[in-house]
Structure 1
Amino acid sequence: MQLQINNLLPTYFDESRKASSEVWGKNLSFTKDDLVKIVAPSGSGKTSLIHFLYGLRHEYNGNISYDSNDLKKFSIEEMARFRKDHLSIVFQDLRLFPKQTVLENLEIKRQLNPYHKSEKIKEMAERLGIADKLQSPGGQCSYGEQQRIAIIRALLQPFDFLLLDEPFSHLDNANSEKAMQLILEETKQRNACILFADLERIEFFPYTKLLHL
């Protein structure tokens, strides 16, 4: 599967943004085995880009297509089916169900389109140091714990493209590296692409492409 971005620019950005960006206003193509790091200072449109690629928002000029299928032409139902099989995401604001337990948050996602058996949840939680939180309400977990929950949730479904929006912002280096290793293993297993947007370059992410937003 191929992702193509052509002359993309948020409608609320001035055309002058294109001159300093390696993404806005450019023609880019990504395939399933690419590891893409997008360095994006505050205010550069990082979260907007991730939301555009996930089909959540459409206030942009230009074109985003997956295998030549224009994202703006997907119906709501088509977009839901496409995400279920091909796109996974770690939102910057995480979007957990605060009153559901951590296990319920993860199991709800897994059951939508099972890629792993339910036992994998505990294994991943142990690796990321949150196994003792599985029966706790998601809203009672610290932000760093919630980030690890969101990362595991994203890895429970099939995907060709994994979109990461500041996934480690509340994790120390040791926990970030553990999470990154798990992400890389799961991505390699699927022969998938990572598009990782963050404020700065993360040295332990072995990107194959580096772009400045």
Structure 2
Amino acid sequence: MTNYTRRGLHGQTVREVARRILTGELPPGATIAVTELEAEMDVSRTAMREALKVLSAKGLVGARQKRGTFVRERSDWNLLDADIIRWQFADRSDEAFLDNLHELRGIVEPAGVRLAAERRTEADLRAIDAALAKMATAQAEGDTTLAVTADLEFHRALLTATHNELLERMEVLIETGLATRDRLVHGAHPHDDPVPSHRAVAEAVRRGFPAAAEQAMRELLDKAKNDQRRTTGGS
């Protein structure tokens, strides 16, 4: 039996059921024995019902008359949901997802920095510079947590500098996956200095050179992919 405290019980119940689904412990198509799950997790019917409502809204579970509550097919899951992305990485790293993330970033971020180079404001440049300064501090101090935070702030600032609301919303997906990727890479290669590659992007954006910004971002992403491969042993 899993022990839960009263504080955060709802969130813990949601996460635990989601974990079982995302890891395949409860595979797509499986009927969920709700009463048994309540007893195993030591939660009330109300708590379980509310948790399943959350997971239903995210496309993970469904309910039908006679069939009861069941795990939906992966094609129905809202894989862009920030919670689902976080839950997938709670206890493991998924190399396939990291590869998908890299492909997505290769589509979004080079085009994004072209716009950033054309549209950035002084406030945008200050945010980019602040993230770079934090990144340099993290590198000097060997602070992995700060390094992850600085990297996320840098890429968020670039998306903000596009002044395109839809591109800005991409930060939810990119940041959530990137945070996990950064923890893996920075933990394995703490002496690999990320500042020069990021500074090259920032400088091109600052000078208003869209093509140079795009090229610098592509080089940064290539480096990120190579770092991932060294960490995970992927091809």
Taking structure 2 as the reference length, what is the TM-score of the superposition?
0.24
Larger fraction in strand = 1
Higher relative contact order (CA 8 A, sep 6+): 1
